[in-house]
Structure 1
Amino acid sequence: MSAKSPAVVMLRRNFKHVARNPTSVFNAILMPIIIMLMFVYMFGDAFSVGVDYIDYATPGLILLAVCYGLGGTATAVNSDMTKGIINRFKVMDVSRGAVLTGHVIASVLTNVVSIAALIGVALLLGFSPAASFPDWLGVAGIVLLLAFAAGWLTVALGLAAKSPETAGMAAVPLVMLPFFSSAIVPAEKMGPGLRQFAEYQPFTPIIETVRGLLNGAPETGTTLTAVAWCAGIAVVGYLWASATFTKRA
């Protein structure tokens, strides 16, 4: 792909916007680390999970890190739409795919930086995965697939919102959903109702897949369920984003 192609130009533009926004950097990179320190040092001893809590929590916190920067992506997408920048791109004959894909890839790259920082801190805190090299490749694949899927869904939410403020709020359910999964504690330790919700919502099989890979013991059934959820979310997000962009632009 040429360095001057519309997709690369849009990616460079969006990534620079993220890097220059302290709030986005804090939410995407520093907040997951703060949450890790809080749960491991403040609450870790309160949870009985059968293994060192840092080993249990890290897979869930990796997936939580994917979601923490989504509010900034939704706000950026909506700002482009509501401030007329999209119309300027249309005059410049920049394709719809380049505009939307630029936001998605910028979100994925931000997630890569965030997760790398989070894993580095986890290793300093005593995280000791048993994953082999193929297992790590599997972790990378699942995390990137989720980041891609969540990116498209977030772009769709940003396009559908009426203002940048409501766009940021629209991403809040995606940020909160991992907390109601097996990320922090096993689903079976939750109360009735919440336990069933945690077991059947999309983040739990994704987290359990990453946890199994990091433990060196992946489960095929859980992995297939996780991939199916990610693929479904990506398709829904892409179709919704494309339709909304066409309608509003």
Structure 2
Amino acid sequence: MSAAYVVSDCWTMTRREFARWARQPVQVVVGLVFPVMTLLMFGYLIGGGRGVEGAYVDFLVPGMLALTMVFGLEGTLTAVTQDLNKGVVDRFRAMPMADGAVLVGRSAADMAQSAAGLLLMLGAGYAMGWRTSAGPGAFLGALGLLLLLRFAMLWIGIWLGLVAGRPELVQTVQILVWPVGFLSNAIALPETMPGWLGAFVEWNPLSATATAVRELFGNPGGEPGWTAAAVLWPLALLAVFFPLAVRRFTRLSR
């Protein structure tokens, strides 16, 4: 199978996801607006910024950007299980199509939505008063770290969706996503938490990305030296869950 054939199949599956967006605009809008609502809620209703040096909104926005990359896993989970239950995946696998094109199309569309969500969140943060002193290189580097985390999380979502298979199991997995996301330094400093909890938070991959992004943006809570961890954590997750997802997909209906 030629490379051009594989790319054509992957692009076809990506266009399929875009076409589904056109048929389900409400779901897409909710997915983009919900993170903004969460940012506004923590920024104006709940946020206090205890222990944060500087404006809390400057600390909060980078953390919420990283948190949004993790919470996007739920949409991936749902989309994969819906295709499985409707028999769509089985029909695609019966066609003369490149292995994994369905997964590549799913991930490409997911990354496009994540990029759009990042731009929307940045605009909302700017409207709230968030500012960055980053130059173009640092700014793009921060966005790259966020999208790298999202790419790793979506392959976890694809694998979990393939394993769960049924919507009722997806709901159970979704419940577990929230504690993992909030047990991080996205909205509060680990120094303000109990010692044992703060130590756990420091080891959360989300915390590494949030800290590195704050450093690149020049916002409070950033610390030098975290960029390497923000790259290595997602790469480690990809090294585990990418092959697991591909292997699970190739073994479906066997």
Q: Same fold (TM over 0.5)?
A: yes
CA deviations 1:194-216 (Å, max 9, x no partner) are 11110112111111011110107
Closer, same or farther: CA 216–32 of 1 in aligned 2, 3 Å = closer
- Of 202, 222, 225 in structure 2, the residue corresponding to residue 221 of structure 1 is 225
Q: After TM superposition, give the deviation of residue 90 of structure 1 in Å.
A: 2.1
Structure 1 segment 136-151 matched on structure 2, within 5 A? 136-151=139-154
Structure 1 segment 119-198 matched on structure 2, within 5 A? 119-198=122-201
Instruction: Please name the residue that 2:58 is paired with.
Output: 55
Q: After TM superposition, give the deviation of residue 168 of structure 1 in Å.
A: 4.5
Instruction: Please name the residue that 1:206 is paired with.
Output: 209
Instruction: Please name the residue that 1:243 is paired with.
Output: 247
Closer, same or farther: CA 22–164 of 1 in aligned 2, 3 Å = farther
Q: After TM superposition, give the deviation of residue 85 of structure 1 in Å.
A: 1.3
Instruction: Please name the residue that 2:82 is paired with.
Output: 79
Cα distance in 1 for residues equivalent to 2:219 and 2:34: 28
Closer, same or farther: CA 165–19 of 1 in aligned 2, 3 Å = farther
SS where residue 181 of structure 1 aligns?
A: coil
8 Å CA contact retained: 1:31, 1:68 = no
Cα distance in 2 for residues equivalent to 1:216 and 1:63: 14
Q: Provide the identity percentage.
A: 33
8 Å CA contact retained: 2:82, 2:167 = yes
Q: Which stretches of structure 1, 4 residues or more, deviate above 6 A after TM superposition? A: none
Pair 1:232 & 2:240 matched: no
Instruction: Please name the residue that 1:70 is paired with.
Output: 73
Pair 1:118 & 2:126 matched: no
Q: After TM superposition, give the deviation of residue 171 of structure 1 in Å.
A: 3.9
Q: After TM superposition, give the deviation of residue 175 of structure 1 in Å.
A: 4.2
TM-score (structure 2 length as normaliser)? 0.89
Runs of 5+ consecutive residues of structure 1 not aligned to the other structure: none
RMSD over equivalenced CA pairs, Å = 2.3
Runs of 5+ consecutive residues of structure 2 not aligned to the other structure: none
Cα distance in 2 for residues equivalent to 1:22 and 1:172: 25
Closer, same or farther: CA 51–194 of 1 in aligned 2, 3 Å = same
